[in-house]
């Protein structure tokens, strides 16, 4: 018998179960590939003893931070798990729901912690191997860094599929597709909760160390970046790992998880048309995306002396093309070959592309925005900040236009997809969900490129600190520059997908509220922002986002100041450090930043959990003058307008920070007086200001948006 027909027969036996098994199988295989990649990395040469000494210091610092961070996060998560269980068990008296919610939350938290941990585990090992390979072979160095990054990418996406798919199977979602997706929402909440702390803590750590090291090192002492004489340099390198690897890993884990669950909930509304397939489609599309990403990562190689970015782009194009093909197959298999829905997915894939280009326009020094910032350096740091801030505000415009077009386009494609028995609104929303799936189908590859950034950054640091020859430094500098670009691109991509996914999560929340109200699915739940309490909820939502950003940025400023004072103290008390005759005490700086970051992450981390719940619970008691419940509706407005504020502020901070960074790099290429000139000093101030924007507050905001969505999903019963 032909193997294809055997597969077909097996699927026909119990199609839903068959597809779910395919998804789980692909996820397991991808995990296996991740293990192979990590073994490939580990097998590589680890360089000289000097290099190993530095690498070990980074490893120790990173692991010590993660241990302490994870114990803080775990305590908070256990507390929250208890609250969820008690709330659903005693408050609502629903035993099954209480148990399943709690299990989902715990599994989601654990998977998120694991995703962050493994991502960092491999990257603190890939950094030295990339550095070592860079001594002889650029292509080999690139491959080590990218495959190291791919361990995070594949691990994150397959863990999220295994988690969501596994819980779906465990709770017998195949025979109970109406309730089970709602029971899994706590998985997304657990993931977001952990991710927010991981991203915040890591983000504060990395930028406090970076800002501190740069201000005393580059500006005051006049020594280069990553100079071994700088006592904060190890803390800075540790920061790249705990912020950019562990933080971002947890962050993208919760993205994929929350969006999968949201899309499955919307799929419930389409049960009359697609049956269980509409619910499973998001998982299937993502699984095909995993295969596409594996192929993409595998084929990347640098030809001769070409720009490494070109090689990475080739991999991205291949991944995109394969993902589109996979998407088409998934639509054919599961969505009755509905071309409207396929094109909604194509819109998502195109949106990803446009975001990548817009981010490049605003953050590369080939174009007007960054050049205008660099030019304003002629008149000092104040004009650098003013011009940069105006660029930061401006760069929200194009992404919002693209997202608006994508949301509207996919909505109307869905609404006109000709789905019998489904309201155009529900079909339209499913269209936006499909677009989100399209945008996220290449997530594993994007995440691999993202983690590539800190690995090459660290490799450059190790080469610099172990004082390798100039020629090798130039090679790691080239990789590092590519890493900076990929980091900026993926942040644009992450916020774009968060924006596109926003609708999917709002709608999931509204669907859930309707279920709790006992409303029929067709009945329209309006979030009338013209209603006074609802408007107030919206205002509070936007405020929450501003306050959260304030706390995140303040934390960096505070921790950085303690680093600066410590470095100055070491320089003062031990003049041998600057002469290179004695070693600075790296450990004290690592300790200071660790403590500062952990302390500072708690308040901003709790705010988005407590805020929406407080609004929902208090506003529930207000009188409403039409039938929609005031509490739940005000929370919906809080969520939606909070999301809008989050999208804008995050875009502003990510791109603004990137633009300041590259204005400095532009001057460092020798323009406007080059390194050491007044213009350079002015752009260093800009870069420093941009640091907490682009690496602490900005990326945390995009987790915050998801956390708002998932906490409201979990706490919805409280608002009614």
- Site residues for a copy of itself, 496-515, by CB under 8 A, read 503, 506-507, 510
When the beta carbons of 317 and 622 are compared against a copy of itself, the nearer one is 622
Q: Least CB distance from residue 347 to a copy of itself, whole Å?
A: 13
Residues 193-232 that bind a copy of itself (CB under 8 A): 211, 215, 219
CB 473 within 8 A of CB 138: no
Q: Report the sign of the C-alpha dihedral through residues 437, 440, 442, 448, in that order.
A: negative
Q: Least CB distance from residue 622 to a copy of itself, whole Å?
A: 7
Distance CA 238, CA 592 (A): 13
Residues 395-454 that bind a copy of itself (CB under 8 A): 396-397, 400-401, 403-404, 407-408, 411-412, 415, 423-425, 428-429, 432
Q: Least CB distance from residue 499 to a copy of itself, whole Å?
A: 8
When the beta carbons of 28 and 408 are compared against a copy of itself, the nearer one is 408
Residues 458-497 that bind a copy of itself (CB under 8 A): none
Distance CA 30, CA 24 (A): 10
Residues 647-686 that bind a copy of itself (CB under 8 A): 647-648, 652, 684-685
- What angle separates helix 678-692 from helix 630-668, to the nearest 10 degrees? 160
When the beta carbons of 293 and 688 are compared against a copy of itself, the nearer one is 688
When the beta carbons of 25 and 219 are compared against a copy of itself, the nearer one is 219
Residues 549-578 that bind a copy of itself (CB under 8 A): 549-551, 553-554, 556-557, 560-561, 564-565
Distance, C-alpha 364 to centroid of its chain: 21
Q: Which of 84, 80, 110 is nearest to 99 (CA)?
A: 84
Q: Between the CA of residue 569 and those of 162, 283, 558, 585, 588, what are the distances in Å?
A: 50, 54, 17, 11, 11
Residue 668 CB neighbours (<10 A): 16
Distance CA 508, CA 677 (A): 54
Distance CA 119, CA 98 (A): 32
Q: Least CB distance from residue 686 to a copy of itself, whole Å?
A: 8
CB 391 within 8 A of CB 362: yes
Residues 155-174 that bind a copy of itself (CB under 8 A): none
Q: Which of 595, 499, 608, 596 is nearest to 193 (CA)?
A: 608
When the beta carbons of 178 and 536 are compared against a copy of itself, the nearer one is 536
Q: Least CB distance from residue 387 to a copy of itself, whole Å?
A: 5
Q: Which of 64, 203, 213, 204 is nearest to 563 (CA)?
A: 213
Burial class of 640 by CB neighbour count within 10 A (0 to 12, 13 to 18, 19+): buried
Residue 480 is encoded by which pair of tokens? 């590092």
Residue 67 CB neighbours (<10 A): 11
Q: Which residue has the tokens 């694991």?
A: 114
When the beta carbons of 581 and 626 are compared against a copy of itself, the nearer one is 626
When the beta carbons of 449 and 538 are compared against a copy of itself, the nearer one is 538
Q: Which of 282, 280, 288, 299 is nearest to 26 (CA)?
A: 288
Residues 361-380 that bind a copy of itself (CB under 8 A): 376, 378-380
User: Which span sits near a copy of itself by CB under 8 A: 116-124, 256-264, 519-527, 707-715?
Assistant: 519-527
Q: Least CB distance from residue 528 to a copy of itself, whole Å?
A: 4
Residues 246-305 that bind a copy of itself (CB under 8 A): none
When the beta carbons of 145 and 567 are compared against a copy of itself, the nearer one is 567
Give the interface size with a copy of itself as a residue count (CB under 8 A).
88
- Asked if 68 touches a copy of itself (CB under 8 A), the answer is no
Residues 623-652 that bind a copy of itself (CB under 8 A): 623, 625-626, 636-637, 640-641, 644-645, 647-648, 652
Distance CA 204, CA 218 (A): 20
The DSSP 8-state label assigned to residue 239 in this structure reads: H
Distance CA 13, CA 661 (A): 57
When the beta carbons of 268 and 415 are compared against a copy of itself, the nearer one is 415
Residue 389 CB neighbours (<10 A): 18
Q: Least CB distance from residue 429 to a copy of itself, whole Å?
A: 7
User: Which span sits near a copy of itself by CB under 8 A: 221-229, 238-246, 267-275, 621-629?
Assistant: 621-629
Q: Least CB distance from residue 284 to a copy of itself, whole Å?
A: 25
Out of 28, 386, 606, 614, name the contact with a copy of itself by CB under 8 A.
Answer: 386
When the beta carbons of 476 and 531 are compared against a copy of itself, the nearer one is 531
Residues 100-119 that bind a copy of itself (CB under 8 A): none
User: Which span sits near a copy of itself by CB under 8 A: 71-79, 443-451, 484-492, 527-535?
Assistant: 527-535
Q: Least CB distance from residue 569 to a copy of itself, whole Å?
A: 13
When the beta carbons of 134 and 392 are compared against a copy of itself, the nearer one is 392
When the beta carbons of 161 and 529 are compared against a copy of itself, the nearer one is 529
What track of x and - describes contact with a copy of itself for positions 47 through 66 (by CB under 8 A)? --------------------
Q: Least CB distance from residue 276 to a copy of itself, whole Å?
A: 26
What track of x and - describes contact with a copy of itself for positions 532 through 551 (by CB under 8 A)? xx-xx-xxx-xx--xx-xxx
DSSP 253-289: HHHHHHHHHHHHHHHHTTHHHHTHHHHHHHHHHHHHH
Q: Who's near 235: CB < 8 A, 6+ residues apart?
A: 61, 209, 212, 213, 563, 586, 589, 590, 592, 593
Distance CA 496, CA 474 (A): 33
Q: Least CB distance from residue 381 to a copy of itself, whole Å?
A: 5
Kindly report the three-state secondary structure assignment for every residue of 146-211: HHHHHHHHHHHHHHHHHHHHHHHHHCCHHHCCCCHHHHHHHHHHHHHHHHHHHHHHHHHHHHHHHH
| Residues belonging to the chain | 720
Neighbouring C-alpha atoms within 13 Å toward the C-beta of 185: 29
User: Which span sits near a copy of itself by CB under 8 A: 15-23, 71-79, 251-259, 687-695?
Assistant: 687-695
């Amino acid at each position: 018998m032909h193997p294809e027909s055997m597969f077909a027969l097996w699927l026909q036996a119990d199609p839903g179960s068959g597809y779910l098994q395919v998804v789980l199988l692909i996820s397991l295989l991808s995990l296996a590939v991740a293990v192979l990649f990590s073994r490939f990395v580990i097998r590589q040469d680890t360089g000289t003893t000097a290099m190993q000494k530095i690498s070990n210091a980074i490893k120790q610092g990173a692991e010590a931070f993660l241990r302490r961070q994870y114990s803080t996060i775990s305590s908070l998560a256990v507390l929250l798990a208890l609250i969820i269980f008690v709330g659903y068990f005693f408050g609502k008296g629903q035993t099954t729901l209480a148990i399943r919610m709690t299990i989902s939350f715990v599994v989601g938290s654990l998977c998120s912690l694991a995703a962050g941990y493994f991502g960092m585990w491999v990257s603190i090992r890939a950094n030295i191997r990339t550095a070592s390979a860079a001594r002889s072979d650029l292509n080999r160095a690139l491959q080590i860094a990218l495959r190291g990054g791919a361990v995070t990418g594949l691990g994150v996406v397959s863990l999220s599929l295994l988690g969501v798919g596994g819980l779906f199977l465990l709770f017998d979602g195949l025979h109970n597709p109406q309730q089970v997706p709602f029971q899994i929402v706590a998985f997304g909440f657990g993931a977001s909760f952990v991710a927010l702390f991981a991203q915040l803590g890591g983000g504060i750590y990395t930028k406090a160390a970076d800002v501190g090291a740069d201000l005393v090192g580059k500006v005051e002492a006049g020594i280069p970046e990553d100079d071994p004489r700088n006592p904060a340099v190890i803390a800075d390198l540790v920061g790249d790992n705990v912020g950019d690897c562990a933080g971002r890993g947890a962050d993208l884990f919760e993205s994929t998880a929350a969006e999968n669950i949201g899309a499955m909930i919307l799929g419930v509304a389409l049960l009359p048309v697609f049956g269980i397939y509409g619910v499973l489609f998001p998982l299937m599309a993502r699984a095909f995306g995993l295969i596409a990403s594996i192929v993409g990562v595998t084929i990347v190689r640098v030809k001769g002396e070409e720009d490494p970015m070109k090689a990475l782009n080739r991999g991205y194009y291949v991944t995109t093309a394969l993902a589109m093909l996979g998407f088409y197959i998934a639509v054919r298999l599961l969505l009755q070959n509905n071309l409207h829905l396929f094109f909604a997915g194509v819109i998502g894939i195109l949106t990803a592309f446009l975001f990548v280009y817009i981010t490049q326009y605003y953050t590369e020094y080939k174009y007007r925005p960054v050049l205008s910032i660099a030019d304003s350096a002629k008149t000092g740091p104040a004009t650098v900040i003013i011009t940069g801030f105006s660029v930061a505000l401006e760069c929200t415009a194009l992404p919002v236009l693209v997202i608006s077009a994508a949301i509207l386009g996919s909505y109307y494609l869905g609404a006109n997809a000709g789905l019998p028995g489904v309201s155009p609104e529900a079909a339209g929303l499913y269209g936006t969900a499909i677009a989100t799936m399209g945008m996220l189908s290449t997530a594993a590859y994007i995440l691999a490129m993202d983690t590539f950034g800190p690995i090459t950054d660290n490799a450059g640091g190790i080469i610099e600190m172990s004082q390798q020859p100039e020629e090798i430094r130039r090679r790691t500098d080239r990789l590092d520059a590519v890493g900076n670009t990929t980091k900026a691109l993926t942040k644009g991509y992450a916020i774009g997908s968060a924006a596109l996914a926003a609708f999917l999560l709002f709608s999931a929340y509204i669907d859930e509220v309707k279920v709790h109200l006992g409303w029929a699915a067709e009945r329209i739940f309006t979030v009338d922002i013209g209603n006074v309490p609802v408007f107030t909820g919206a205002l509070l939502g936007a405020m929450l986002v501003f306050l959260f950003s304030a706390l995140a940025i303040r934390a960096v400023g505070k921790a950085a100041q303690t680093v600066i004072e410590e470095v100055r103290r070491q320089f003062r008390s031990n003049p041998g450090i600057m002469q290179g005759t004695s070693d600075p005490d790296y450990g004290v700086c690592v300790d200071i930043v660790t403590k500062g970051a952990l302390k500072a992450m708690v308040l901003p981390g709790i705010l988005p959990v407590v805020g929406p719940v407080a609004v929902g619970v208090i506003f529930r008691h207000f009188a409403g003058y039409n039938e929609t419940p005031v509490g739940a509706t005000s929370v919906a407005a809080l969520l939606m307008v909070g999301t809008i504020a989050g999208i804008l502020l995050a875009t502003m901070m990510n791109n603004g920070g990137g633009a300041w960074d590259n204005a400095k790099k532009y001057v460092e290429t020798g323009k406007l007086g080059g390194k050491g000139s007044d213009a350079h000093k002015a752009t260093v101030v800009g870069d420093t200001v941009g640091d907490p924007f682009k690496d602490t507050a900005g990326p945390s905001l995009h987790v915050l948006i998801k956390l708002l969505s998932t906490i409201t999903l979990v706490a919805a019963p409280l608002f009614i």
